Amino acid sequence: MESLDTAPRPATDADLPVDASIVGVILRFAGARYAVDMNTVAEVVPVPPTTRVPGGPAWLAGVVNWRGRVLPILDLRPLVGAPLSPMPTSARLVVLFQEDVEVGVVADMVPGLLDCDPESLAPLPATVAPGIAPLVRGVVEFDGPVALLETGAVLALRSQLFSARRG
């Protein structure tokens, strides 16, 4: 008869509790709700005066001085096919960062936080605008649909600015 090994074993990553929820900041623009990962949000503030950049793409709202640095401000409305219009007084600037890259994203409003199970992440519906689809990793149901923006893809728009200006 074999004996069972009852000696304690060292803990592994599989033994540690896992926070399985997706936590994000909800942004509302172009009549829809989007969310960005809370861990990549540096700040949410009223939209400061923005300096336009001549020859920039439609989704570049301009730049601002943010904490002594030039911060590109993205307005994602053109990517969903929405017309540009003046921002409401509820508009907010959501400053995103990942490693050493930062951008600001404007939203008509920031109505709250998202907290959902990653298992509820569904693929993008075919009706999603082709301009925004590469920036979205999926959709969750949270008092209605919320598209989850992929922070890395949003930040990658910044690199398109530099290559477009050189060419």
Is it the case that residue 51 has pLDDT exceeding 70?
yes
Compute the distance between CA of residue 156 and CA of residue 150 in angstroms, rounded to an integer.
10
Is it the case that residue 71 has pLDDT exceeding 90?
yes
Using the Cα atoms of residue 120, residue 125, residue 128 and residue 131 in order, give the sign of their dihedral: positive
Q: Which domain holds residue 43?
A: 23-166
* pLDDT at residue number 113: 96
For residue 12, is it within any domain?
no
CATH of the domain at 48: 2.40.50.180
Is it the case that residue 7 has pLDDT exceeding 90?
no
Using the Cα atoms of residue 116, residue 122, residue 125 and residue 129 in order, give the sign of their dihedral: positive
Compute the distance between CA of residue 5 and CA of residue 108 in angstroms, rounded to an integer.
61
What total of structural domains would you count in the chain?
Answer: 1
